[in-house]
Amino acid sequence: MLNKNLNQKLFDKDVEQIPTRNGYGEGLVVLGEENPNVVVLSADLTESTRAEAFSKKFPERFIEIGVAEQNLATIAAGLGISGKIPFISSYATFSPGRNYEQIRTTIAYNDSNVKIAGAHAGISVGPDGATHQATEDIAIMRVMPNMKVIVPCDVIEARKATIAAAKIWGPVYIRFGREKSPVLTTETTPFIVGKAQLLWVPSEKRKVKKPDVLIVGCGPLLHNALCAAKALEDEKINVSVMNVHTIKPLDEDSILNHAGHAGAVVTLEEHQIAGGLGGAVAELLAKKLPLPIEFVGMEDTFGESGKPNELIEKYGMGVGAIKDAVKRVIKRKTQSV
């Protein structure tokens, strides 16, 4: 049963689709109007990262660094410890990919108040190919001390995450996609950094006491999880779907509560299985609540050029792959009883 605060047209063929990066651009403009200390820096990707609207409206608070991602991070670090709230904008393969050491040493180590926008993340970047498809960024950022990591599920949540990041002290990494993706949430859907949210629960009409599996996901792929949940109901398999938009700090209490209720977990992310959301959830369960778990994501491989939806299917993150993972983990749960 779909959360009442979500877009009720999610399963329509003409569901509205907008890139999450658009929400970043919208959020920057809102912040620019609210707070004169917000500044934006770009590494020659102002239009693609959607920082362009801010640059035009607040040119005195916009800095074009050029193709120099290391400088992007270090200049922002200085601004971040000087009373400003800098947002640095680039592709995730370049920031944090190319400037990892500068982010680590000048931003995170100093707890500088910098917000890092990693756009064009995941293989849904499509034809740009493996060199531009960041599938390791969640892993490298979530292990960095002082860093917070947010992966919005749609354009509305991306705008809310951008605005919220400016109101949190310290470094924050926000991950955005390039491709248009379904608008899952609405303006009234709650968004709190560090607080997960159930998007789908078994229908009350079926009098299901508890779900068979909890699907824990992040980013635009959550639409596939919802489609899988709907399809599985027809097979009398009941799942809950949780949006864990904040990978760090992880909402441990919510995950443990709902995972314990279901007795099995499937994680879902457009990222390497190793080290991302799946790794974070597995670490939590191993420590506090050992349960059967399956992972849906990139399996130790790079992507390739292609159409976004075709790549999602090829690399095992489509609706069918999610359904298969749910059935595998149910089988393991049954065998362990």
Active site residues: 69
The torsion angle over the Cα atoms of residues 294, 277, 208 and 328, rounded to 10 degrees, is -10
Phi-psi region of 12 (alpha: psi -120 to 50; beta: other; left: phi over 0): beta
Question: To 5 degrees, how large is the angle CA 114–CA 117–CA 123?
Answer: 150
| Biggest distance spanned by C-alpha atoms of the chain | 63
Q: At a CB cut-off of 8 Å and minimum separation 6, what does 89 contact?
A: 24, 40, 41, 42, 43, 45, 46, 49, 50, 51, 117, 119
- Helix (H/G/I), strand (E/B), else coil: 29: helix
CA distances for 196 relative to 166, 193, 213, 257, 330, angstroms: 20, 8, 16, 11, 23
Handedness of CA 249, 254, 260, 264 (dihedral sign): negative
Q: Closest Cα to residue 19, out of 220, 189, 271?
A: 220
Handedness of CA 72, 75, 77, 82 (dihedral sign): negative
Contact 315, 123 (CB under 8 A): yes
Beta-sheet pairing, 181-182 with 62-64: unpaired
For 69, how many CA atoms within 13 A lie in the half-sphere containing its CB? 19
CB-count exposure of residue 53 (10 Å: 0-12, 13-18, 19+)? middle
Buried-state track 98-114, b at ≥16 Cβ within 10 A, e below 16 = bbbebbbebbbebebbb
